[in-house]
Amino acid sequence: MSAGPAAPRAPTAKQRRATIVVQNLPVPLDRRVWSEACALRDAGWSVSIVAHRGEGQPWHERLEGIECCRYPAPLQARGAVGYAIEFGWCWVLTLLWCVRLLLTRGIDVLHACNPPDTFFAIAWLLRPFGVHFLFDQHDLCPELLRAKQGDATRPTCFLDALLWLERRTYRAARVVIAPNESYAEIARGRGGKVAADVFVVRSAPPRDRFMPAGPDAMRDSRWRRGRKQMIGYIGVMGRQDGVDLLLRAAALLIRGGSGGGAKFGLESGGEAARRSLGLVLIGNGDEFTALQALARKLGIAEHVEFTGRVHDLATIAAALSSCDIGACPDPNNAFNDRSSMNKIVEYMALAKPVAGFTLQESVRTLAGGGELAEFATGATGGDAAALAAPAALAGALAKLLDDPARARELGRRNRARFEQELCWERQVPALLAAYERSIA
C-alpha cells in the first residue's frame, strides 16, 4: 500500500528561492515588502517580487539584486463587483508570473502579502511542485471592511466572503507572519495556527534611514513658515484614518473650543502660539479632496499644508522633523485597535512625541511616549455635531504643545525605544526564523 507522496524536501542554502507576491502597492514603494526582500537577499536567498506596475516602472528588472516582476495596475475598485474584478485581474496576472518563475528559476517559498486574502489558491496550485506557503498578514480584511462601513455588527455577504478567504489563507499557510501581537493572537485564535507557526515581524524603517534632525530643522522655513507650533501627520487619508478628527481638533486649538480657549491650555500663555499653529499632512487617499474642503469649511486652510503622497524619505524626514508632535488620529474601531500604525514608529524614529487615541496597539508601541486620549464611543469625524472625539484629541495635543520640555524628553525616549526594540534591524531575526520554519 502506497504511503502517498513524500513531503517536500527542505532546500539547501544554495537553492533557496523566495517569491513575494503583493497587490496593495508597487515595489520598492511598499517599504515593508522591500525591507523583507533586502533582508532575505542579504541572508543568501534569491528573491523575486511580483507586484503591479507603478507609473514609469519597467515590466521586469533586477533592482539591488532583487528581481521585480510587474503587471498592469488594475483600475480603482468601486463596490463589491469592482473589488471582485480587481482581485481577479491581479490574481490571474500574479499566477502567470509565478508559473514563469517556477519554470525558469524555481520557487521554494511563496510569500504572500495581503490584502487581498486570495493568493492561497496560487499556493495550492504550486504545492505539488514543492512550494511552501508563507502568509504575511498586513491587514485584517474583515475588520477593515467593518471600519470602512462604519458598522461593526452588520453582517453582509461581502464580509462573510472575506472571513471565508481569511480562513482558507490561514489553513493553507505553513507559517504566518504578523505585524504585532494582536494580529498574532487572531492567527492563533480564529486562524487556528499553533504558536510555533506564528511570528511577529513589525513594520519599521531601518535604524539609520529615519534619523532625528538637529535643532535647525525646527526652524526650517520650508515647512514651519514662521509657525510657533507645528503638528505633523503621515499616512493614508481614508474614512477610517481620522484625519478629519485631526482637522477638527486643530480648529478647536486655533479658534478655541466650545468651552473656551482655556480648555485647551490657552490660559497658560499659549494663545499667540495657538493662533499660528500649523499642520503638515503627508499622504493621499479617498478622502483627500474632502479633507481639503473641510479645512476650508473650518476656517483653518491657511494653517494646513497638504503635501500629497511623498516618496522621498529625506523629504518626509525633513517635514516631520520640523514638527513638534506627530499626530495619530485613527479612531477606535476593531481594525484600528488591533493594527500597528506605521506612522507612530516613524514619529518615534524621528524622536517625536505622539498624540492620538488609546488604541491597544498604539499603547503597546508607544509605551508611554506620548499623550493618548479616550475615544468617545459613537463620536465620528463625519458628524460635525460630534465634538467629543476632536475635543479629546485637542486636549492630548495641547498637553504636549504646552510642555515643550516634556515633549522633547518623550521624543528622546521614543528614539531610544525605536533603536533598541522597534527598528527594522531588530525584526530581521524573526523574519529569517519564519522562513526557516516554513521550509523545515
Give the model confidence (pLDDT) of 51-61 as tens digits: 999 989 999 99
User: Would you state the pLDDT for residue 75?
Assistant: 75
Average of pLDDT values for 410-422? Answer: 97
pLDDT category of residue 346 using cuts at 50, 70 and 90: very high
Look up residue 368 and give its three cell numbers.
508611554
pTM: 0.86
Distance from C-alpha of 215 to C-alpha of 212, rounded to nearest angstrom: 9
Q: How far apart are CA 17 and CA 101, in angstroms?
A: 10
215-422 matches 13-204+426-438 in CATH topology: yes
pLDDT at 354 over 90: yes
User: What pLDDT is stored for residue 385 in this prediction?
Assistant: 41
Q: Among candidates 184, 85, 63, which has minimal Cα distance to 434?
A: 184
Any idea where the domains of the chain sit in the sequence? 13-204+426-438, 215-422
Superfamily (CATH H level) for 215-422? Glycogen Phosphorylase B; (3.40.50.2000)
CA distance 51 to 258: 49
- CATH number for region 13-204+426-438: 3.40.50.2000
Amino acid 379: pLDDT: 47
How does residue 237 score in pLDDT terms, banded at 50, 70 and 90?
very high
Question: Contact at 8 Å (CB) between 65 and 28?
Answer: no
Predicted pLDDT of residue 207: 92
H helices present in 225-287, as ranges: 243-255, 271-275
pLDDT at 151: 54
List, for residues 255-308, the tens digit of each pLDDT value: 875 434 445 544 444 555 578 899 999 999 989 999 999 999 999 999 999 999
